[in-house]
């Protein structure tokens, strides 16, 4: 009888020990460093934070203005491998001498073959800036985008900007305000799904996925009409936030970096739209946020597309600061 009691006790202890062992395994998984944290640490330690993508470790901004005169063009184009991501028809109609027409999906492949710093070219500078950010994050830190795109190179290729500016729909709009910015909240980190425990591998795979997904944008019309559908971040200085006015409810998270945790002001569960003056800086920020795990969009044409005639302009105004030039074009037609 005594032996039978011992047997039953042992029978109950075995599953208890098994469950204890399983609990320990679960704790190990729970205590594992989140994938986002692994990626964040890699980004900070390798000069790949958002501010380092905007201006690299050598002090080069993400945009390069066009040359001042036609006489400066040969020296200008000699510095770069020029990659033009416009349509083949637009490229054939007029492009920079020496430029290569490629698709957005192939930017990382083309970057690997480049022997000089890369100049990305598009219609307005916005998609090229998005590409530039992804290429800088992937290790091609000397990549730059042609500021204003081909719209700023020659008046005959300025159609995309000229066709989008002038509506001034924010002027007098019910969702345009001049009030102060809301208090920034503190959100949790995005959740990154991956089996890798290497921050470098996680980060590069996220860049590759962003390239495959393409440029994610939102229009001023939609965001103005439906601001509550988005988490809006106005990437203006504090003075300009008030002077220009802004979309109702727009946050102002600037600086926006991983190192100081200011990125925690962005809601990881919302559609995040960033806007700036031209759509070019917001394209850089949006690329970074998408790689970091946010559902991020850049507001096309920025402030210019919503309220180009705003009297607060000091720079980056299309038609003034842009000054489309008559620089030479090569035609393949």
Structural domains of the chain ordered from first start: 42-164 (3.40.250.10), 176-307 (3.40.250.10)
Instruction: Tell me: pLDDT of 198 over 60.
Output: yes
The band of 163, judged by pLDDT with boundaries at 50, 70 and 90, is: confident
Q: What angle do CA 322, 284, 61 make, to 5 degrees?
A: 60
Q: Taking residues 222-227, what's their average pLDDT? A: 97
This prediction's pTM: 0.90
Give residue 31's pLDDT.
Answer: 53
Q: Taking residues 241-255, what's their average pLDDT? A: 96
Q: Taking residues 145-172, what's their average pLDDT? A: 92
Give residue 162's pLDDT.
Answer: 86
> By the 8 A CB rule, do 44 and 258 touch?
yes
Give residue 323's pLDDT.
Answer: 85
Q: Where are the beta strands (DSSP E) in 125-178?
A: 144-146, 176-177
> By the 8 A CB rule, do 121 and 146 touch?
yes
The band of 77, judged by pLDDT with boundaries at 50, 70 and 90, is: very high
State what percent of residues in the chain have pLDDT above 90.
Answer: 85
Q: Of 153-162, 186-195, 229-238, which range is least confident?
A: 153-162
Rounded to 5 degrees, φ, ψ at 64 are: -125, 125
> By the 8 A CB rule, do 259 and 247 touch?
no
Pairing of strands 176-177, 246-247: antiparallel
- As a whole number of angstroms, the distance between CA 315 and CA 9 comes to 81
Q: Which residues of 149-188 are buried (b: 16+ CB within 10 A; e: fewer)?
A: bbbbbbeebbebbeebbeeeebeebebbeeeebeeeeeee
Q: Which positions ≥6 away from 267 have C-beta within 8 Å?
A: 185, 187, 231
Give residue 50's pLDDT.
Answer: 98
5 vs 325: which has the higher pLDDT: 325
Instruction: Tell me: pLDDT of 187 over 90.
Output: yes
Rounded to 5 degrees, φ, ψ at 87 are: -65, 160
For the chain, the average pLDDT equals: 91
Q: What DSSP element (H or E) covers 296?
A: strand 295-299
- As a whole number of angstroms, the distance between CA 36 and CA 14 comes to 38
SS (H, E, C) 45-97: HCCCCHHHHHECCCCCECEECCCCCHHHHHHHHHCCEEEECCCHHHHHHCECC
Q: Taking residues 317-325, what's their average pLDDT? A: 89
> By the 8 A CB rule, do 205 and 194 touch?
yes
Q: Which positions ≥6 away from 322 have C-beta within 8 Å?
A: 148, 151, 152, 161
Name the burial class of residue 314, with classes exposed (0-12), middle (13-18) and buried (19+) by CB atoms within 10 angstroms of its CB.
exposed
């Amino acid at each position: 009888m005594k032996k039978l009691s011992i047997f039953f006790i042992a029978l109950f202890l075995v599953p208890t020990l098994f469950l204890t062992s399983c609990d320990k395994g679960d704790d190990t998984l729970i205590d594992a460093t989140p994938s986002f944290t692994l990626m964040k640490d890699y980004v900070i330690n390798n000069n790949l934070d958002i501010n380092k993508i905007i201006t690299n470790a050598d002090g080069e901004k993400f945009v390069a203005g066009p040359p001042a005169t036609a006489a400066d063009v040969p020296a200008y184009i000699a510095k770069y491998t020029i990659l033009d991501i416009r349509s083949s028809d637009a490229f054939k109609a007029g492009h920079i001498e020496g430029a290569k027409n490629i698709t957005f999906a192939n930017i990382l492949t083309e970057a690997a073959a480049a022997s000089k710093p890369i100049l990305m070219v598009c219609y307005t500078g916005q998609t090229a800036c998005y590409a530039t950010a992804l290429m800088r994050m992937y290790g091609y830190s000397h990549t730059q985008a042609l500021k204003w795109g081909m719209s700023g190179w020659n008046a005959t290729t300025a159609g995309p900007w000229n066709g989008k500016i002038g509506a001034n729909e924010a002027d007098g709009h019910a969702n345009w305000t001049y009030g102060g910015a809301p208090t920034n909240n503190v959100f949790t980190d995005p959740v990154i799904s991956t089996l890798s425990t290497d921050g470098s591998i996680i980060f590069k795979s996220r860049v590759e996925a962003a390239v495959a997904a393409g440029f994610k944008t939102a229009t001023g019309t939609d965001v103005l009409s439906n601001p509550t559908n988005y988490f809006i971040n106005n990437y203006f200085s504090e003075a300009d936030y008030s002077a220009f006015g802004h979309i109702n409810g727009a946050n102002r998270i600037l600086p926006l970096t991983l190192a100081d945790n200011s990125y925690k002001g962005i809601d990881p569960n919302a559609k995040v739209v960033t806007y700036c003056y031209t759509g070019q800086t917001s394209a850089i920020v949006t690329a970074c946020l998408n790689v970091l795990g946010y559902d991020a969009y850049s507001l096309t044409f920025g402030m210019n597309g919503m309220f180009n005639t705003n009297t607060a302009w000091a720079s980056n105004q299309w038609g003034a600061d842009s000054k489309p030039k008559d620089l030479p074009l090569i035609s393949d037609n």
